[in-house]
């Protein structure tokens, strides 16, 4: 099983978000150049799961957030940490607005 979130990017807009089920999971948000600007999770506190979380990402990043990809999982907390560690491994640091998570997450050396 691949550990990276390698699904195709989808256009991020309200219409697409509304079509998603309200399940729990993890996601990545990217700009138009597919640069990841956020790695997040939709937890059980979200009223409509991943839909609510993605709507909040649009509010946070505005027009810069143009694409997303996601994965439904009830293990959203451990999967989120895994994606953050992979991001550090791949890019050296976390997305700018998530740098405060760096001291909390561990480190991975995937094959």
Partner 1 sequence: MNFDLTDEQQMIVDTTRKFVESEIVPAEENLDPDAGSLEPHDFERLVIKTKEMGFYGLDIPAEYGGPGLDTTSRALMAIEMSQHRAGLYNPCYGVFGGAGLAQLYEATDAQKERWLYPTLRGEKKGCFALTEPSGGSDPARAVQTKGYKDGTEWVLNGSKLYISGADKADYALLFARTSDDPGRNGVTAFIVDTDSPGFFVRRVVHTLRATHYATELQFEDLRIPEDQILGEVNGGFAIANDRLSRQRIPYAAGCIGPAIRAQAMSIEWAKSRETFGSILAEKQAIQWMLVDNEIDIRHAKYCVLEAAQKADKGLRFRTEAAMAKLVATEASGRVVDRCIQIHGGIGVTKDLPLERWYRELRIRRVGEGPSEVQKLIMARDIIGGSFK
Q: What angle do CA 87, 96, 37 make, to 5 degrees?
A: 60
CB nearer to partner 1: pick between 64 and 105: 105
Q: Would you state the structure tokens that stand for residue 39, as one six-digit string?
A: 């790695």
The reply on whether position 74 binds partner 1 by CB under 8 A is yes
CB atoms within 10 A of CB 42: 26
CB of 44 to partner 1, least distance (A): 4
Label the pairing between strands 10-11 and 67-72: antiparallel
Lookup result for tokens 């999971």? 25
The residue from 43, 48, 64, 101 that contacts partner 1 (CB under 8 A) is 43
CB nearer to partner 1: pick between 28 and 67: 28
CB nearer to partner 1: pick between 60 and 108: 108
Residues sharing a CB contact under 8 Å with residue 57, sequence separation 6 or more, in sequence order = 12, 27, 29, 38, 40, 65, 68
The reply on whether position 77 binds partner 1 by CB under 8 A is yes
CB of 71 to partner 1, least distance (A): 12
Return residues touching partner 1 (CB under 8 A).
3, 43-45, 74-79, 81-82, 85, 104-111
């Amino acid at each position: 099983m691949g550990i990276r979130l390698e699904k195709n990017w989808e256009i991020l807009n309200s219409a697409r978000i509304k079509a998603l089920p309200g399940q729990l999971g993890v996601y990545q948000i990217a700009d138009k150049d597919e640069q990841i600007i956020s790695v997040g999770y939709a937890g059980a506190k979200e009223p409509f799961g991943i839909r609510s979380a993605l709507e909040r990402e649009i509010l946070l990043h505005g027009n810069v957030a143009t694409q997303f990809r996601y994965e439904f999982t009830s293990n959203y907390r451990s999967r989120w940490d895994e994606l953050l560690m992979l991001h550090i491994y791949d890019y050296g640091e976390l997305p700018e607005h998530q740098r405060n998570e760096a001291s909390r997450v561990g480190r991975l050396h995937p094959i």
